[in-house]
Amino acid sequence: MSSSTHAPVQSAPKIYNDKGAGTTSGGNRLQVLIDGLNHDLAGEYQAVLMYTQYSAVLTGPYRRELRALFQTEIPDELGHAQFLADKIASLGGEPTTVPRAVPHAELAREMLEQALTAEKQAIADYTLRIAQAEAFGDIGLKVNLETQVSDESRHKEEIERILSGWID
C-alpha cells in the first residue's frame, strides 16, 4: 500500500455550514461565533436600557428633542436583539439575558457621549462579527449584520451631528 508512505492529504478548509462535529477548527469557529453574538446581544440590551433610562431622566432645554431621538432608537436596538437571540438559538447556543452595564450619566451631553461610545463599539463589534460569519460560511448572517451596522452608523452619525454643534 503506497498510502502509508504518503503524507496525509490535507482537506480543504471547510467553511460552508460547518457545525464542527468531530472537527476542532469547525467547532471552535462555531463557538467563537456564538460567544461573539452573545457579546453583541449584551450590547443591544444595554442600548435598549440606556436609551430608555436616559430618555426618562433627561432634564434641561434639550429634553424634548433628545428624548424623541433616544426613543426612536429603542425599536431598532430591540429588533437587533431579537435577531441576535434567534440566531444564537438557531446555532445551538443559549442567548444571554445579561446586558452590559449602562454608564451613569446626568447631563444631556454626557448621555450623548456615552451613547456615541456605545454605537461606535457596536459598529466595531459587528465589523469583527461579519468577518467571523463569513469565515463560518453563513452569508445570510453576514448580510443581516451588515444591515445592523448600517443602523448603528446612522445612530452614530446623528449623535455626532448633535454633539458637533453643541452649546452648553
Query: How near is the Cβ of 80 to Fe ion at its closest, in Å?
Result: 4
Give me the count of residues in the chain.
168
- CA 141 vs. chain centroid, Å, equals 12
Q: Mask of contacts with Fe ion, 137-156, x by CB under 5 A?
A: ---------------x--x-
Question: Applying CB under 5 A, does 29 fall inside the site for Fe ion?
Answer: no
- Given 77, 87, 129, 132, the residue binding Fe ion (CB under 5 A): 77
For residue 129, what are the contacts with CB-CB under 8 A and spacing of at least 6? Answer: 33, 36, 37, 40, 145
Residue 16 has what DSSP assignment?
Answer: S
- Our finding on whether 129 is near Fe ion (CB under 5 A) is no
Q: How far is the CB of 4 from Fe ion (least distance, A)?
A: 55
Q: Which stretch binds Fe ion (CB under 5 A): 50-58, 75-83, 102-110, 160-168?
A: 75-83
Contact 110, 166 (CB under 8 A): no
119's CB contacts (< 8 A; 6+ apart) are: 152, 155, 156, 159
> Smallest distance, Å, CB 73 to Fe ion?
6
Q: Which of 80, 87, 100, 129 binds Fe ion (CB under 5 A)?
A: 80
Q: Name the residue nearer to Fe ion (CB basis): 129 or 155.
A: 155
Query: Which stretches of 14-167 are DSSP H helices?
Result: 24-57, 63-90, 108-136, 139-164
Q: Which positions lie near Fe ion, rule CB under 5 A?
A: 44, 77, 80, 119, 152, 155
